[in-house]
Amino acid sequence: MIIQRVVLNSRPGKNGVPVAENFRLEQSTVADTIQAGQVRVRTLYLSVDPYMRCRMNEDTGSDYLLPWQLSEVADGGGIGIVEESKHSNLAKGDFVTSFNWPWQTVAILDGSLLQKLVPQLVNGHLSHFLGAAGITGLTALLGVREKGHVAVGANQTMVVSGAAGACGSLAGQIGRLEGCSRVVGIAGTDEKCTILVQEMGFDAAINYKKGNVAEQLRELCPGGVDVYFDNVGGDISDTVISQRNQNSHIILCGQISQYNKDVPYPPPLPPDIEKIRKERNITRERFLVLNYMDKQEASVLQLCQWIQEGKLKARETVVEGLANIGAAFQSMMNGGNIGKQIVSVSK
């Protein structure tokens, strides 16, 4: 069977900026028959995420992420429909997902590595299983619960950087649902800031490209910052940390401003900011959602309940066609999208 797939065409280099041309669309084939335990699936949706920038390097700098190989098919979060099954727990027509889904139109996969999906849990919006009800939502929810130390009635203020992104937009809402009394987002356009406030229930949002971020933070967070959901690192995070309260907490989710730089993860703070962190006893611990998979099932059900109740709103930027996945990746890394970046492969 002839299929289409996307392979890594070139590496941007550790300090390079990814471009669409780093990926290549090509034809390939898959077997016409499947073996015992396998399923043939047709790809419906693929997830494009910032962490994938590390996989473009020969060395990901991480012990849990493998690098993509040149001229080999890329992979990530994906959803598809079973077209043929020789696995006892999966049948034709089932919707399934995997964190290591190949970027191709049709694939033959080990059925034991797939998770069956229940579309009704997300009101039929399947792609939410890659975002708000998937690994992105889990990262936001478990990050807040495990590292944020949010307590109902404690009058805590949360700040979220990269707040219009897939994880940040959920984290701010979850912070509110978990008990924060005030949530402020930081984003890169007026449009994003408006969506955060009017649609997602943030109390306020700062366009970091306009005005003085430190002054706006002091105005919008007069009691200081208790919880910081950090998606970006760099100067923005240094500014937030300088206004942190004693014994406050940083949820170290991502450092997208540093992903095109050859620095360790998490990047060390500048000496003056590290001094503030220590003096104020601010926690800044690496957070990896994969360490909390024993809480996955209950957490996904909580996320789905909030989605069904309209308490958790998810934005998606959907790009049509496998041929455009490289451009979608480039746009995401440039901060051009709102919410989760999804590629719709086939209907």
Residue 183 pairs in a beta bridge with 158
Domains of the chain are: 2-131+316-344 (3.90.180.10), 135-290 (3.40.50.720)
What is the pTM assigned to this prediction?
A: 0.90
Closest CA to 230 of 290, 311, 285: 285
Query: How high is the pLDDT of residue 260?
Result: 47
Q: What does the mean pLDDT of the chain come to?
A: 92
Express each pLDDT in 301-342 by its tens digit. 999 999 999 999 999 999 999 999 999 999 888 877 788 999
In this predicted model, what pLDDT tens digit does every residue of 187-220 receive, in sequence order?
Answer: 999 999 999 999 999 999 999 999 899 999 999 9
User: In this structure, what are the phi and psi dihedrals at residue 113, rounded to the nearest 5 degrees?
Assistant: -95, 5
Q: What backbone phi and psi angles, to 5 degrees, belong to 14?
A: -60, -35
Residue 264: pLDDT above 70? no
Instruction: Using a pLDDT cut of 90, give the percent of the chain over it.
Output: 83
> Which of 54-63, 127-136, 154-163 bottoms out in mean pLDDT, i.e. has the lowest?
54-63
CA distance 141 to 303: 8
Cα(231)–Cα(168) distance, integer angstroms: 7
* Confidence bin at 14 (pLDDT 50/70/90): confident
- Backbone region of residue 319 per phi and psi (left: phi > 0; alpha: psi in -120 to 50; beta: other values): beta
Q: Are 107 and 44 in contact (CB under 8 A)?
A: no
| 91-100 confidence digits (pLDDT tens) | 999 999 999 9
**d(C-alpha 123, C-alpha 192), whole Å:** 25
Task: Please report the pLDDT score of residue 186 as a whole number.
Answer: 97
111: which 2 tokens? 């059925």
Among 45-54, 109-118, 262-271, which is the least confidently predicted range?
262-271
